[in-house]
Chains A and B, each alone.
Chain A
Amino acid sequence: MLSRRIIPCLDVREGQVVKGVRFRDHAVVGGIVELALRYRDAGADELVFYDITASPEGRSVDRAWVERVARKIDIPFCVAGGIRSVEDARAVLHAGADKVSINSPALERPALIAELADAFGVQCVVVGIDSLRDADGQWRVRQYTGDPSRTQALPRRTLDWIAQAQDLGAGEIVLNCMGSDGVRQGYDVAQLAQARAVCEVPLIASGGAGAAEHFRDVFTGADVDGALAASVFHSGAIDVSALKRWLANQGVMVRVAIEPETCDG
């Protein structure tokens, strides 16, 4: 039986891990490889690197760090942010990333999903979706959420987009529930459960993790394959290895990493 995945997400800007309000006030948290190894040692099942480096005019983003990560870590990792073409994806995958995640570019041009799936196989293609509930009670997709001044509400319903993305060749869906994102009151289990009902490929929950119970609740309540979180892991509020031991005790199937011999755990 498959284990539920715990997936720390690291924001990368110009080759370093940063935190802060997106697009301003970034503070450098540390080196990419160093932090990746720390999460790997704690038992993270996978890592997502969200590259928020602004694309220099007419040039592609320097992603030499992808190969450095691939050389050092021995768990899968996904690169998100700024991938707009098969060639962008090829560079990242050939540098050693296991998957690429696309969001706004897929909304601009859904055929990109199919192009990536044809070129690399569906297992490499993750579609990220930012979703917010509108006044009429419908969840709809938001675009360009990385930059608040550009964020747009689309008429497209979230559940329709999930279905379309997987028809086009998405091998995995990451659903970021913006209504719960950043407030640490738990994942949006109701929305994720509806997404689960239409999503036949792996589904990853994003947005809202604040406590260990939130992970348990989204696994048991929405049957998601994985749960992604950033700030609760980076701040140390939740330790990945402790979280996984707790989830195992709660009856959630997880991979409890082999402890190093020096660990007294």
Chain B
Amino acid sequence: MSAVVTSTPDARAGTEPSSASVVLVDAGGTNIGSVRYALQRLGVDAPLTSDPAAIRAAGKVILPGVGAAGPAMARLQALGLIDVLRSLTQPVLGVCLGMQLLCARSEEGDVDCLGLIPATVRRLQPASGVRVPHMGWNRLRTCSEHPLLDGIDADAQVYFVHSYAVPPGDYTLVSARHGVPFSAVVARGNFFGMQFHPERSSTVGARLLRNFLAL
């Protein structure tokens, strides 16, 4: 995949948020292209970068990620991005593993994470009728109002694929249930996280990404 792809915004693009200042942090993982394409469908061409200066200068930062917490933190460390990400003041969105990396710690590999959301990421426990990985479309339960959730129906469904989850807490904007309740969307100051894949959640996911871009 080439590092720079020229977007071909459609006719709606003129009403979309500016694309000039959204960056995707390259923390490895295979879903980076998918997130990038989802933003392009919204008329936003977000470059993929691991350059601290580009990340600091961006208006919005997205941290995608598929994979395991340990290798992802090791990669952020190697790239010198741990303190860069911690010091950001613009809206930051972690997607799937990216959301888990925002937390204090993960049971996956028993690794310290960025510490921006005061939570420990726990392994989902299989039970009767509860399969792990939690894979598929599940219902969102909104816990509190937030501009990030504008236009999202009470029974909206999104696509999840994960084996670890963030327990509910006062940082939980939206929860979902897979055997037990867990955090589907978190927020703390300027840091946001989505456990599901908005880039693979059809109309609902596109709206959530658009809401983030409009924050």
Which residues of A pack against B, CB within 8 Å? 1-3, 5, 40, 45, 67, 70-72, 74-76, 93-96, 98, 120-124, 171-172, 200-203, 223, 225-226, 255, 257-258
Q: Which residue of A lies closest to B160 (CB)?
A: A2
- Chain A to chain B contacts (Cβ below 8 Å), 26 pairs: A1-B177, A3-B136, A5-B137, A45-B136, A45-B159, A67-B33, A70-B33, A71-B37, A72-B37, A74-B199, A74-B201, A74-B205, A76-B197, A94-B1, A94-B30, A96-B34, A98-B161, A98-B200, A120-B67, A122-B133, A122-B163, A123-B135, A123-B162, A201-B131, A255-B137, A257-B202
Cα(A203)–Cα(B129), bound, Å: 11
Closest A residue to B161 by CB, please name it: A123
Q: Is the interface of B mostly helix, strand, loop or mixed?
A: mixed
| In contact, B1 and A202 (Cβ under 8 angstroms) | no
For A3, the chain B residues whose CB sits under 8 A away are 136-139, 157
Given A121-B68, A202-B135, check contact A70 B34 (CB 8 Å): yes
Q: How far is the CA of A257 from the CA of B137 in the complex (A)?
A: 11
Interface centre among B31, B37, B134, B137 (most CB of A within 10 A): B137
* Cβ-based interface call for B38 (8 A): yes
A75's partner among B37, B134, B159, B163 (CB-CB below 8 A) is B159
Q: B40 contacts the other chain (Cβ, under 8 Å)?
A: yes
Give chain B interface residues in 108-147, CB to chain A under 8 Å.
126, 129, 131-139
A99 nearest in chain B by CB position: B161
Complex Cα–Cα for A162 and B15 (A): 50
Number of A-B contacts (CB under 8 A): 102
Please state if A225 and B135 are interface contacts (CB–CB under 8 Å).
yes
How many interface residues does chain B have, given as a range?
35 or more
Establish whether residues B33 and A95, one from each chain, have CB atoms under 8 Å apart when the complex forms. Answer: yes
B66 in the interface (beta carbon within 8 A): yes
Residues of B within 8 A of A124 (CB): 30, 66
Q: Is the CB of B206 closer than 8 A to any CB of chain A?
A: yes
Residue of B nearest to A260 (CB): B203
Contact present for A74 and B136 (CB under 8 Å)? no
Whether A2 touches B1, Cβ cut-off 8 Å, given contacts A93-B30, A121-B68, is: no
Judged by a CB distance under 8 angstroms, whether B204 is at the interface is yes
Enumerate chain B residues within 8 angstroms of A223, measured Cβ to Cβ: 129
By the criterion CB–CB under 8 Å, are B133 and A202 in contact?
yes
Question: Provided the pairs A2-B178, A123-B162 are in contact, do residues A75 and B202 lie with their beta carbons within 8 angstroms?
Answer: yes
Task: Point out the residues of chain A lying under 8 angstroms from B41, CB to CB.
Answer: 71-72, 74
Q: Which residue of A lies closest to B139 (CB)?
A: A1
Q: What residues of A have a CB within 8 angstroms of the CB of B138 in the complex?
A: 1-3
The CA-CA distance from A121 to B197 in the complex, in Å, is: 16
**CB pair B202 A40 closer than 8 Å:** yes
Which of A94, A95, A121 has the largest count of B CB atoms less than 10 A from its CB? A121
A225 and B129 CA atoms in complex are apart in Å by 10
Cβ of B66: which chain A residues have Cβ within 8 Å of it?
Answer: 120-121, 123-124
**Could you say which residues of chain B place their CB within 8 Å of the CB of A96?**
33-34, 37
